[in-house]
């Protein structure tokens, strides 16, 4: 069983550019989550999907952020018109979401640097 994978692992972009990240969850996990983590802080929730439905979005997710999970498999997170404050580690996690088990397993993350 392969783990959660994320691409790219690192991204450097100039302010104002758009970036897109991809997450492939553990196979057969129907829940997928996006978090953002900055230095010295714990991960902060951005959004999550159950299958292809986006069930919740954090207020942290401004209009410049959009996430999709077509067909309930991989997910993409797009940031438009990047700002220096968007520099962070973007983490994807997945869970089986069965019963009371919400154990979330994280991918390696995508480190974004906005110059």
Partner 1 sequence: QKEVEQNSGPLSVPEGAIASLNCTYSDRGSQSFFWYRQYSGKSPELIMSIYSNGDKEDGRFTAQLNKASQYVSLLIRDSQPSDSATYLCAVGTRGSTLGRLYFGRGTQLTVWP
Q: Rg of the Cα trace of the chain?
A: 13
Contact between 65 and partner 1 per CB under 8 A:
no
Please identify which residue in 29, 109, 112, 114 interacts with partner 1, judged by CB under 8 A. Answer: 109
Measure CA 31 to chain center.
12
Phi and psi, residue 102, nearest 5°: -120, 35
Residues from 3 through 62 that contact partner 1 (CB under 8 A)? 31, 33, 40-45, 48, 50, 55-56, 58
The nearest distance, CB 102 to partner 1, in angstroms, is 5
CB-neighbour burial class of residue 67 (10 A; exposed 0-12, middle 13-18, buried 19+): buried
SS3 category, 106: strand
| Among 12-20, 65-73, 74-82, 97-105, the segment contacting partner 1 (CB under 8 A) | 97-105
Tell me whether residue 75 or residue 95 sits nearer to partner 1 (CB atom).
95
End-to-end CA distance of the chain: 37
- Which positions touch partner 1 (CB under 8 A)? 31, 33, 40-45, 48, 50, 55-56, 58, 89, 91, 95, 97, 100-109
């Amino acid at each position: 069983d392969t783990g959660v994978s994320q691409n790219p692992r690192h991204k450097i972009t100039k302010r104002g550019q758009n970036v897109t990240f991809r997450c492939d969850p553990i196979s057969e996990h129907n829940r997928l989550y996006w978090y953002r983590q900055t230095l010295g802080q714990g991960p902060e929730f951005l959004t999550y999907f159950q299958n292809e439905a986006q069930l919740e979005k954090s207020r942290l997710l401004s209009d410049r952020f959009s996430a999709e999970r077509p067909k309930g498999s991989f997910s993409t997170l797009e940031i438009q018109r990047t700002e220096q404050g968007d520099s962070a580690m973007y983490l994807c996690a997945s869970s089986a979401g069965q019963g009371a088990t919400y154990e979330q397993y994280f991918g390696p993350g995508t480190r974004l640097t906005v110059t």
